[in-house]
């Protein structure tokens, strides 16, 4: 009997200990996190906010002024200088449309100070340069207008805008090589980019003019 009683007591102790271990392992422990370690905002939210700001800065666009010549020149001016007449960039290009001294001299403007301080003159120079480039590129405009080169629709306004960026000679090379000779300026803007960005404007009111000057 003593042996049976001892065996039963031993068995009972094993059962009690097993139940106790199971109970303590399942019990939830409430751990308090110090305030200094708490996250106030989501990291993903911060990243998305910063990304949105970058995209907004990259996608700034001029006010839409229509598809006619006025809309074309103001869109181009916004890309060149954000429409400011007194700007000189790091390469020495000047004014609202960022002309170089060699182009200005070609059109009869020799005083850069006068050019920078005279908005009316700057507008006249731009119009004269459009007429000049339309004459130089008249055959290419007729040949390529309405076609696509490497996915870019070719239009008269795109051709003239690209000529403003890179010169009429480089635009001829781009068109006649079907996009193989695609050059970019020091800031990374390419002929194909200007062709695409400034496509579809109606600039027919400016007539082509040979050796156009102020």
Any idea what the CATH number is for the domain that residue 109 is in? 1.10.530.10
Residue 120 included in any domain: yes
Residue 109 lies in a domain: yes
Residue 90 domain-assigned? yes
Distance of CA 64 to the CA centre of its chain: 17
Assigned domain for 56 exists: no
The domain total for the chain is: 1
Q: Which domain holds residue 122?
A: 66-197
Tell me whether residue 185 is in a domain: yes
pLDDT tens, residue order, the chain (214 aa): 555 555 556 655 665 555 544 444 444 444 444 443 333 333 222 222 232 333 333 345 666 789 999 999 999 999 999 999 999 999 999 999 999 999 999 999 999 999 999 999 999 999 999 999 999 999 999 999 999 999 999 999 999 999 999 999 999 999 999 999 999 999 999 999 999 999 999 999 999 999 999 8
Residue 47, domain member (yes or no): no
- pLDDT tens per residue across span 134-159: 999 999 999 999 999 999 999 999 99
pLDDT in tens, 47-76: 222 323 333 333 456 667 899 999 999 999
Within-domain flag for 61: no
pLDDT for 12: 59
Residue 139 lies in a domain: yes
Give the pLDDT confidence score for residue 13 in this predicted structure.
61
* pLDDT, position 65: 80
């Amino acid at each position: 009997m003593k042996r049976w009683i001892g065996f039963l007591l031993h068995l009972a102790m094993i059962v009690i200990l097993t139940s106790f271990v199971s109970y303590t392992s399942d019990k939830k422990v409430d751990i308090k996190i110090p305030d200094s370690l708490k996250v106030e905002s989501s990291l993903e939210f911060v990243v998305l906010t910063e990304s949105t700001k970058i995209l907004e800065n990259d996608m700034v666009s001029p006010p839409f002024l229509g598809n006619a010549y006025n809309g074309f020149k103001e869109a181009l001016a916004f890309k060149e200088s954000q429409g400011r007449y007194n700007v000189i960039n790091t390469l020495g290009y000047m004014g609202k449309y960022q002309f170089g001294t060699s182009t200005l001299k070609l059109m009869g403007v020799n005083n850069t100070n006068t050019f920078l301080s005279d908005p009316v003159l700057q507008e006249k120079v731009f119009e004269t340069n459009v007429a000049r480039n339309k004459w130089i590129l008249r055959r290419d405009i007729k040949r390529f207008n309405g076609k696509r080169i490497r996915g870019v629709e070719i239009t008269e306004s795109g051709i003239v805008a690209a000529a403003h960026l890179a010169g009429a000679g480089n635009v001829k090379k781009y068109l006649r090589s079907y996009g193989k000779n695609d050059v970019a300026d020091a800031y990374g803007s390419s002929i194909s980019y200007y062709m695409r960005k400034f496509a579809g404007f109606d600039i027919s009111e400016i007539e082509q003019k040979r050796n156009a000057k102020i």
